Amino acid sequence: MDKDTSIHTRHSHVIVRTMTKDDIPKVVELQKVAFPAMAAEGVYWKPDQLSAHLEIFPEGQFVAEYHEKIIGSCSSLIVKLKSEYQEHTWKDACGDSFFKNHDPNGDSLYGADVSSHPDHRRLGVATKLYDARKALAIRLNLRRIIAGARLINYCENAQLSPLEYVHKVKRHEIKEPVLSFQIRNGFKFIKILPNYMKDPRSLNNATFIEWKNPHFVEKQ
């Protein structure tokens, strides 16, 4: 079996489904492995927070399974920003770690988190999780998906401003796997969100990213 076929076969074994309460302990452990620097600061989902997400917006919480092992997850809520591209922090958007800002009448699916196991990052896990979010946004007729996304290699290029860093990433002069992946998946970089959340890799910065739902129908 050649390499490409092997990768395709392994991709097909990754199943994305909605999260259940039984998944919660496994997602907590995944968070610690996926974000070790942030976990060391205590920044990762706790069981009571994940339970709240399931109670508030169950269809917005996904896990990725590979041979019955959870190797990816993502958490989402619906929001409506005061202005189209309002500068905000993670807490401003989500309310808090219990998603108290979830608004069923909002127009945007907000990506609060995506995590994938570092030993399984060539299986298309993030792509499948993003596709699940896109399908959800289309099904719920939401106008767009937005998020504040990490710049995980910015700490190694801190001589640049965050915006200069992003421009170099877009010109393929700096390797930044998260933003490059998001652009390949149809997201547009809007602007820098300073002091977005406590993140030593991003030096607390994030990128405001947006994917517009091509099937959105304006409500009458």
DSSP assignment letter at 154: G
Whether 185 is covered by a domain: the verdict is no
Q: 66: which strand partners? A: 14, 69
Residues contacting 113, CB < 8 A, separation 6+ = 45, 73, 74, 75
Q: What is the pLDDT of residue 103?
A: 97
CB atoms inside a 10 Å sphere around CB 205: 23
Positive/negative CA dihedral, 151, 156, 157, 158? positive
Indicate the number of domains in the chain.
Answer: 1
Whether 155 is covered by a domain: the verdict is no
Q: What is the pLDDT of residue 164?
A: 98
Q: 209: which strand partners? A: 147, 189
Whether 163 is covered by a domain: the verdict is no
Give the structural domain span for 71.
3-150+191-212
Q: How far apart are CA 154 and CA 88, in angstroms?
A: 20
Q: What is the pLDDT of residue 2?
A: 40
Residues contacting 66, CB < 8 A, separation 6+ = 10, 13, 14, 15, 120, 123, 125
Q: What is the CATH number of the domain that holds 123?
A: 3.40.630.30
Amino acid code (one letter) for 73: S
Whether 167 is covered by a domain: the verdict is no
Q: What is the pLDDT of residue 27?
A: 96
**Is the pTM higher than 0.75?**
yes
Q: Output the six-digit token pair for 112.
A: 């609060």
Q: What is the pLDDT of residue 10?
A: 56
Q: What is the pLDDT of residue 11?
A: 59
Whether 31 is covered by a domain: the verdict is yes
Q: What is the pLDDT along the chain (220 residues), one digit of tens a residue?
A: 344 433 444 556 899 999 999 999 999 999 999 888 777 777 789 999 999 999 999 999 999 999 999 999 999 999 999 999 999 999 999 999 999 999 999 999 999 999 999 888 778 999 999 999 999 999 999 999 999 999 999 999 999 999 999 999 999 999 999 999 999 999 999 999 999 998 889 999 999 999 999 999 998 7
Distances (CA, A) of 64 to 24, 42, 197, 205: 13, 23, 25, 27
